[in-house]
Structure 1
């Protein structure tokens, strides 16, 4: 599921909002990245594209067939933006239509280009959140433009959330999360996107690097995640950071701590049985009027895939 690229609006109807210059760049980067996933065999080769009929979604979706060959393309008004809190049954209808259990012999990829709210509602439902809670819980998340949220559905009907709002494939200079009110003036303001760092405390949750690769490959993973998280301090989060990790994630934590000139803190081994202790320690507001970052590095018990980064604000 892809959120559309950044758009701008000047009072026109919602479905007429068009992409900004950065929105087009984001969509292009994401289309190219998805093409690479198919080429590397990381997605089932049988594929189709389904997009919202809103202009910003159409313009985002149009980049995909340029890079991904043999892609069936469909569109649906039902995927237009909605408010799942006030219209939960419409959002639930979309979820039920799209998250259908495949046949045991079937394997395919459906790329959906839609909008922040409806994607987050479907994510909540795929994660097993009941309808009445999903209609509220989606508001706790926010997706970056042209980011990828992936859910795998097995032939048994089980759903596995693989990624939420992944956007590391988009250049830092083009990353945005808010749409533009008024005309797109970025070209007249030095070319950079309009964005401001979040206030308060930001929690960055990092899955430790590892897997079945060689030592050199794991070292590259560690360096990549450290560089990526550090880059976020340039435009999204505070550079004042605390780094904490479990004992098995110390190598990744050390690289991150080095980027922020911090001394990594080590969770006791009991944190695996009592994770609430970590929540109570760090998921708190900073001092009034201040802004900081807490980076937590830990394992999740699955060692066959590389690191992942999640951000909470």
Structure 2
């Protein structure tokens, strides 16, 4: 392994980790707000990717412009799913039943995409799709840099929203202690719906980022949901910073392992990390006290 190859793998791992962090943040929001295991999150990512692909192939516009459509649409869908579907579940069986319901949603989305676009693999043909940036001997694809930029901007906006806005304070209060939040006058039902919508909006951004660099097909979401679940467990359920740290570390390790092991075996690092976490520190390595509550 040369120094240039090692450096390039490190950079590519950081870029991949940024995408993982964005997608894992949405899953963390779902679980933090309502203890919902959202198996359909990656399916919604695929739906957003197809919206970007369809818009670009039909109009010739840049796929990032599809965010104008997909982000508000997914936010409204997330709010509707939480208010009219998830909130009707009994608290005692919330986690178990949410797995079944969101699994059904994932199948519906996959089936709908298959009917509309067939199972043929699709890829965007962009003018900058094969361009790369040379950095100290490493060749970094432009599309991955753009995807990382989208992820970083979205995560920074999410952080500022959670820390600096009144809505963010209400959402954090709802996550930390719903009963106490209600006692101080917070409408936890409405806040939970908005939080769910916010989580699904991150899927819209992630889908566009994914369409820039991956070949997409309806069942691709099953390839992503396992690693994302592993990331939020390793990071600590309910902790967005924990999920981001775990995503970056596992993304880097995965790309590094692709050199000696190949992409198939390198993917197993997520499941190895999941098993180690459950055996050694079930509350997650980066989640802190909030994760321990869950």
TM value normalised by structure 1:
0.24
TM value normalised by structure 2:
0.25
Structure with the larger helix share: 2
Higher relative contact order (CA 8 A, sep 6+): 2
Structure with the larger strand share: 1
Larger Rg over CA atoms:
1
